[in-house]
Chains A and B, each alone.
Chain A
Amino acid sequence: MDQLLQHALNAMILGGTYALLGIGLTLIFGIMRVVNFTHGELYAFGAYMMYMWVMLIGANFVLSIVLAVALGVVLGAAIEIVLLRRLRGADIDTTMLVMIGAWIAIQNTEQLVWSGVAKSINSPFPSAPLVVGAISVSWTRLFVFAVAVLLIAATYALIQWTRLGKAMRATFQDREAAALMGVRIDTVHTATFALGSGLAAAAGALLGPVFVVYPTIGDLASLKAFAIVILGGLGSIPGATIGGFILAFMEELGAGYISSGYRDAMGFLLIILILLVKPTGLFARKERIG
């Protein structure tokens, strides 16, 4: 029983960060239909910026997160303006190849700048865990979970209730009609990509102090994010959120009770099963072709 509770708690915490990674990508991949291979690199970028602010400059921990996310937003906007803007209307393969190139370029730049040696980021929280009965959890992870939940809620509110959110939804439903209604299409594209990138950077900045930071950490993050988005249904924020938690519970319980060798396979097995029954993912909106 204690073991089950501990597994459930681990999965909740892990699920929060998976969800954060997922919603960032679902905006870009699900709504913009850009197969964004740089998502994991934005995650790594956020983590490295966190390292720079906390460990090299010595800034306040919370302020560092804000700065790391802000820089992630700027990098995301730059990728959209420099690479994607001129590819608007290009077919999905061309865009995909450009994004693969960007992924490799960013990852190698990280290696050049920061070297391959892993960096660790000090957290201001006590290193002794919070213990309740037989289960325990680190304070840093609790903090990460709380911030992740907050960011997910804020993103949902932004898409659902603000003018920008409405413009985003309109643009990606029907670009021409939205343009005719006076929506600035270019701005919306840039804002969406920057927002998704900022969320990836936030996940990196939050998880950097939990894990260690090295140039290839983004690869795994990217893989999980794609899995979550496909599981939850393209473009659905609640889908990505719930998908993140489902993936975390599958991995945690699968590894805990079946076999840890198949930990990553568990998640993908579930995705195959769900896609067999519901090919659009759990929460996808109705597709509109044309």
Chain B
Amino acid sequence: MHTKTVKTASPSSCGRRVGSPPRASTTAAGLIAAGVLATALSTGSVAAQETIKIGVSQPLTGAFAASGNYVAQGARIAEDEINAAGGVLGKKIQLVIEDNKSNPTEAVATVEKLIVRDKVPVIMGAWSSTLTLAVMPKMQEYKVPLVVETSSSGKITTAGNPYVFRISPTSEMEAMSFRPLVAKLGIKKADFLNTNNDFGIGSATEFAKMLKAEGVQVGVLETMDPKANDFSAQLTRIKASGGDTLFVTTAVEQNTLILKQAKELQLKARIVTTGGSNSPDQLVTQAGDAANGSYHTVFFPPWFPEVVKNPDAAKRYMAEWKKRGHEPGGLTEGFRGYDGIFTAVEAIKVAGKAEPAAIKDALWKVKVPGVYGDIAFIKQGPAGSESGQNQPTVYLVKIDGGKVVKPEF
């Protein structure tokens, strides 16, 4: 799947998008413009027949905009790499990227639009667990498979939706891979601070379960609104609880603020952020010395790409990311989009045709040497309507002296 030669297609050859239908206008200029637009639309659809469309729903604006844009940038890299190598089934692929505005209602509208209007046979999305859970019933309704690239809530693959194929790890997998580190870090009592949504609650539940099984005392479980920026109340309570380790689950913006505010309140506990959307590089830049001594679970460690299962894929992705001038802090997020598109395209190749039902069946057979590791799906959820779940590796990194390092035990 991943070919050795990497040529970048010119940006204009990709990302052609069909605009919204022309609005009625009373001015002559408006009519002319509408005419031109109509012509553009018809040529657009001619070109579209020669490509295979893949839908993408990501939060490009709103609370998760930073991460959603990284995933979209990673997806674009995969698109160009695949097209430079000749596309799939003799056709070029074309991503149709829609903005779900970090909003579950909008997310449902984006997949409906992608399926009904753009007629995409497969969709990648929708970043946060809440957004993904919102679009899942639509995928089942229209019988179109969904490649889930980021979300970690257990509910996604246990809901009995056979159209869901997740390449990112579940919170439970993350907690399990953390298990051997509990003793190494000497954790005796743990407190939790998580964002109040499917992602945060799911992660805290799984980690607490795992820690209890390891004989660790669980102190307070604090939550925060996904938009909140002041956590003094929660951190004061956590300080009073007196655990030696604080597990934090949220996106990078809140992680930054929590590190800073924990320092202001002189919280002594070691901070571990989970979920993999923590962009440690961004934490180093933005939280400064408050980030020192903190640990982070990531699903791709760009600081030492040689440790991953498929270093070639990782290095190709990293080189192109750098060449395009994308934010280095986004490397730990963008690979999800890169792998997601490769997975969808491999399924199209195995299926031999770009049709939803065939792609869904083919997803069970794919084996993709991705940045996430060797992507393949195992069955999860109620028998008869299982969802596909990949089993990626989880890495723990530490920030020390303003640098991201491998933790030493």
- Binary CB contact string for chain B from 188 to 211 against chain A (1 if under 8 A, 0 otherwise): 000000001000000000000000
Minimum Cβ distance to chain A for residue B366 (Å): 31
Partner of A118, one of B66, B232, B237, B290: B66
Tell me, yes or no, whether A280 is within 8 Å of chain B by CB. no
- By beta carbon, the residue of chain A nearest B266 is A136
- Please determine whether B225 and A216 come into contact, CB atoms closer than 8 angstroms: no
Q: Is the CB of A137 within 8 A of B62?
A: no
Query: Contacting chain B: which of A66-74, A184-192, A258-266?
Result: A258-266
CA of A252 to CA of B287 in the docked complex: distance in angstroms?
23
A220 interface neighbour in B229, B232, B233, B237, Cβ under 8 Å: B229
Take A117-B66, A127-B263 as given contacts and tell me if A214 and B233 are in contact as well, using a CB distance cutoff of 8 Å. Answer: no
The stretch of B7-15, B249-257, B355-363 that contacts the partner chain: B249-257
Shortest Cβ distance from B285 into A: residue: A120
Which residue on B lies nearest to A264, using beta carbons? B225
B263 to chain A, nearest CB (A): 7
Q: Cβ of B306 < 8 Å from any Cβ of A?
A: no
B37: interface (CB < 8 Å): no
- Which chain A positions have C-beta within 8 A of B253? 118, 212, 214
B42 in contact (CB, < 8 A): no
**Does the CB pair B66–A256 fall under 8 Å?**
no
Contacts of A260 in B (CB 8 A): 222-224, 233-234, 237
A103 to chain B, nearest CB (A): 13
Cβ-closest chain A residue relative to B196: A261
Contact residues of B: prevailing secondary structure: helix
A137 touches B264 (CB 8 A): yes
Interface residues of A, count at CB 8 A: 39
Inter-chain contact B228/A263, CB cutoff 8 Å: yes
Q: How far is the CB of B235 from chain A (nearest CB, A)?
A: 9
Residues on the B chain within 8 Å of A115, using CB: 66, 69
Q: Is B327 in the interface zone, CB < 8 Å from A? A: yes
B229 in complex: contacting residue of A13, A108, A131, A217, CB < 8 Å: A217
Contact between A214 and B228 (Cβ–Cβ < 8 Å)? no
Q: Shortest beta-carbon distance, A170 to chain B, in Å?
A: 38
B62 nearest in chain A by CB position: A216
**B65 pairs with A252, CB closer than 8 A:** no
Q: How many A-B residue pairs have CB under 8 A?
A: 108
Bound Cα distance from A115 to B266, whole angstroms? 32
Chain A residues lying within 8 Å of B3, measured Cβ to Cβ, are none
Least distance between B381 CB and chain A CB atoms (Å): 28
Interface residues on B, range: 35 or more
Residues of chain B from 54 to 106 with CB closer than 8 A to chain A in the complex: 60-63, 65-66, 68-69
Do B63 and A216 touch (CB < 8 A)?
A: yes
Q: Which residues of A contact B196 (CB under 8 A)?
A: 261
In B237-278, which residues have CB < 8 Å from any A CB?
Answer: 237, 239-240, 252-253, 256-257, 263-266
Which single member of A129, A252, A263 contacts B265 (CB below 8 Å)?
A129
Decide if A215 touches B61 in the complex (CB within 8 Å).
yes
A120 touches B264 (CB 8 A): no
Given the complex, which residues of B lie within 8 Å of A173, measured CB to CB? none
Measured between beta carbons, the chain B residues less than 8 angstroms from A216 are 62-63, 65, 227
B241 to chain A, nearest CB (A): 10
Assess the B61–A14 pair: CB atoms within 8 A. Answer: no
| A-B contacts, 24 listed (Cβ < 8 Å) | A2-B240, A3-B239, A3-B240, A6-B236, A6-B239, A7-B233, A10-B232, A14-B230, A108-B61, A117-B66, A117-B282, A118-B66, A118-B256, A120-B287, A129-B263, A137-B264, A211-B230, A212-B286, A214-B65, A214-B253, A216-B62, A217-B229, A251-B233, A255-B234
The 7 A-B pairs of least Cβ separation, nearest first, read A116-B65, A255-B233, A10-B232, A120-B286, A138-B264, A261-B223, A211-B229
Give 14 new A-B contacts, CB below 8 A, not counting A120-B285, A212-B286.
Answer: A2-B240, A3-B236, A3-B239, A7-B233, A108-B61, A115-B66, A117-B69, A118-B252, A127-B263, A136-B264, A211-B257, A212-B229, A256-B237, A260-B224
